Amino acid sequence: MEMGSMAEPYSWLFIENVPLLFDKERITRQLKVETWLDLTQLLKEIKNEDLNGKSSQSAINYVV
């Protein structure tokens, strides 16, 4: 078996300028969580604007 044909199970993840070597599955899972958290924060901000009396149309335009 050739070493070049094997898929690397690890990949680099950079946090600021710090390189970290992780299992690719863990990196994929972490990026999904971060994306979900970013979307959760955006939805909270949209809800706060609606509660403060601002137009929900402007929030929708922001998302698009």
Percent of the chain topping pLDDT 70? 70
Residue 4 lies in a domain: no
pLDDT of residue 51: 74
Residue 37 included in any domain:
yes
Residue 38 lies inside a defined structural domain of this protein: yes
Q: Which class for 7: exposed (0-12), middle (13-18), buried (19 or more C-beta within 10 A)?
A: exposed
Q: Which domain holds residue 46?
A: 23-63
- Residue 7's pLDDT is 65
Is residue 27 in a domain?
yes
Cα–Cα dist 29/7, whole Å: 18
Q: pTM for the full model? A: 0.44
d(CA 1, CA 34): 37
CB 10 within 8 A of CB 27: no
Q: How many domains does the chain have?
A: 1
Asked whether the predicted pLDDT for residue 64 surpasses 60, the reply is no
Sign, CA torsion 26/31/37/43: negative
